[in-house]
A and B are shown apart, each in its own frame.
Chain A
Amino acid sequence: MDFAWSDQQRELLNAVGRFASQQLNYDVIENDREGIFNHEAWKKCGSFGIQGLPVPTEHGGLGMDPLTTVAALERLGYACKDNGLLFSINAHLWTAVTPLVYNGSEAQKKKYLPGLCNGTLIGGNAMSEPNSGSDAFSLTTTAIKKGSRYILNGSKIFVTNGPIADLLVVFATVDKTRGTDGISAFLVEKNSPGMNVARKLEKMGLRTSPMAEVFFENCEVPEENLLGKEGGGAFLFTRSMTWERGCILASAVGSMQRLLETCIRYANERKQGGQSIGKYQLVASKIVDMKVRVESSRHMLYYYGWLSGHRKSVYLEAAMTKLHIADCWVKCSEDAIQIHGGYGYMTEYEVERELRDAIASKLYSGTSEIQRNIVASMLGL
């Protein structure tokens, strides 16, 4: 196992860092306050190549291996302070793009992947429902086949990118009596008749990443938009969740590294009681813990990336990676506020936003409790 970057990887990572720090960090405080998605930055990321990182070259992507991909996303998180934008990109990559890459028909890939890679199309997924969250497979949205179409009925909640998405991967059951085996995935384009992207949801953090409730009322989906097999939705979802858990917090590792550096700088500069606050053991020890959290998170991330790239089973590792990084990110951002004292609590220092953004990482892609359940079951408990 070797995590030393080749010259090519290093150049790619440096290019990501330079691009992100120069092109993506404007109006972040304002957009966070108002809940505005930076569409311009999304398009730039597309033309730069972010959304195509893990997509095969024949479908308009860069064909990067998982380790290089997570390292690039880590660098993106380090250099770009708009966690909401990055969350939208992650949701797009792991809940729409990856399922298409692995389960899409040639025609579906041809139709959607180039646009999803180059920034012209935005994707997302709709799994969670008002009454099925952690127990996702108890969903009740139905898809009934009528001729050459499926008719969808039901309601979805917490749909990241919902208000801006061109394409949603929607999960519904073709036959409730079949339980998990009835769950199927559909590619639903925006403005499909019968699909209603309703209320935009106001949230604590990741405020620059828009989210909506979506209703389906006799929504017609052509049969060629079935993604994977009829009844194959649960398998497809589990697979894309594994990708998502392994990769979605790569940018959080970068964001933790940035927080760490910010805190070291602040602790050296800020003087109280006649010395830099970093000289107080109580402050220094917080920074040491931050450092250990960043490094352990990074190693779990790279290890996941390496395993995934070598086609090893990563079900357990993805859950542990997600669980660990989420905990670390929340703790690091809380400590960062503490180290900055009253200033850390002020919006203009851009530290408090980090905590608000970090907290959701313990909820999406399966709550931390659910990750623990997975690890426990993999340990034979």
Chain B
Amino acid sequence: MKILVPFKSVPDPNDATFAGEAASASKSVINPFDEIAIEEALRIRERGEATEIVGVTIGAPSVDEQIRAALAMGVDRAIRIDDARALDPYAVARILRAVVEKEAPHVVIMGKQAVDDDSNQVGQILAGLLGWPQATFVSSIEFLDNKTRARCTRETDAGLEVVELDLPAIITTDLRLNEPRYVSLPGLIRARRKPIEVLTCDQVGVNVRPLTTVLAVARPPKRPAGTRVESVEELITKLKQEAKVI
């Protein structure tokens, strides 16, 4: 079985850089949900159910550090679609469809959303474009019937939902699926010998253009400092007249 894992390079969420300020390359990481997807693919391979894991990302050469991190974790080879534009979910899904058609994986495992824009759409759109079944927000995956079907547990507001789907399929990962391993230095050194294939959109035969444009990114307004009240009476008056909550 071959697994395709799309992943995105995002500003390090543990490093409080403001989204509007250019994050330096060294402060980027693999999107944590995608890291969970990579980890799951590795575990599936380690239990003997997969033979190849291919990673794919879209970006400028500066994302190579995250690609090598994925290879260091254990991904076998990687593809970078060389496109530095800020793409929206539909454009990303169309590029990924082209990669899926080229690579013909049995399953695509990817993060449910990227922590920078929180779109939570690519997996779903990709499934739609391919006409494949999908299981989103997944917290466990198991393969059935000689790996022709998958049984996934989904985390929903109402509770845990168990679904079965035919392969090939799209699976998007939630936080509790696993805890990803860390990139080790020997892994990083091994990763240098693994191939990174760089392709343009032209080469995979798609012509994408973002349908949405980000006009501005602004910091949330600073909250004004609180005020001290002298007495309970003053508090009640203010709650009534100013805050109008009682």
Nearest Cβ on chain B to A314's Cβ, whole angstroms: 25
A62→B186 contact, CB < 8 A: yes
List residues of B (64-86) whose CB comes within 8 Å of A's CBs.
Answer: 65, 68-69, 72
Docked pose: A219 CA to B173 CA in angstroms: 58
A14→B26 contact, CB < 8 A: yes
B26→A47 contact, CB < 8 A: no
Docked pose: A48 CA to B14 CA in angstroms: 20
Q: Which of B135-143, B177-185, B197-205 contacts A (4 or more CB under 8 A)?
A: B177-185
Tally A residues with Cβ within 8 Å of B.
21
A48→B184 contact, CB < 8 A: yes
Docked pose: A12 CA to B184 CA in angstroms: 9
Give the nearest-CB partner of A21 in chain B.
Answer: B14
Residues of B within 8 A of A8 (CB): 192
Q: Does B38 contact A (CB under 8 A)?
A: no
Q: Does B91 contact A (CB under 8 A)?
A: no
Q: Does B188 contact A (CB under 8 A)?
A: yes
| Known contacts A19-B182, A23-B182, A48-B182: A12-B29 contact under CB 8 Å | no
Q: Does A111 contact B (CB under 8 A)?
A: no
B185→A15 contact, CB < 8 A: yes
| Known contacts A10-B26, A62-B189: A15-B14 contact under CB 8 Å | no
Docked pose: A144 CA to B115 CA in angstroms: 66
| Known contacts A8-B192, A21-B14: A14-B182 contact under CB 8 Å | no
Docked pose: A22 CA to B26 CA in angstroms: 16
Give the nearest-CB partner of B72 in chain A.
Answer: A15
Residues of A within 8 A of B185 (CB): 12, 15-16, 48-50, 52-53, 62
Q: Does A269 contact B (CB under 8 A)?
A: no
A47→B184 contact, CB < 8 A: yes
Docked pose: A50 CA to B72 CA in angstroms: 16
Docked pose: A48 CA to B72 CA in angstroms: 11
Interface string of A24-50 (1 = CB under 8 A from B): 000000000000000000001001111
Residues of B within 8 A of A21 (CB): 14
Interface string of A202-219 (1 = CB under 8 A from B): 000000000000000000
| Known contacts A8-B192, A10-B26, A11-B68: A18-B183 contact under CB 8 Å | yes
Residues of B within 8 A of A48 (CB): 182, 184-185
A15→B69 contact, CB < 8 A: yes
Partner of A19 from B26, B183, B192 at Cβ < 8 Å: B183
Give 14 A-B contacts (CB < 8 Å), ordered by A residue. Answer: A7-B65, A10-B26, A15-B69, A15-B184, A16-B185, A18-B182, A19-B182, A23-B182, A44-B182, A47-B184, A48-B182, A52-B186, A53-B185, A62-B189
Residues of A within 8 A of B182 (CB): 18-19, 22-23, 44, 48
Nearest Cβ on chain A to B45's Cβ, whole angstroms: 19
Residues of B within 8 A of A18 (CB): 29, 182-183
- 5 additional A-B pairs beyond A7-B65, A15-B183, A19-B182, beta carbons within 8 Å, are A10-B65, A15-B185, A18-B29, A49-B184, A53-B185
Docked pose: A23 CA to B183 CA in angstroms: 11
Residues of A within 8 A of B29 (CB): 18
Give the nearest-CB partner of A19 in chain B.
Answer: B182
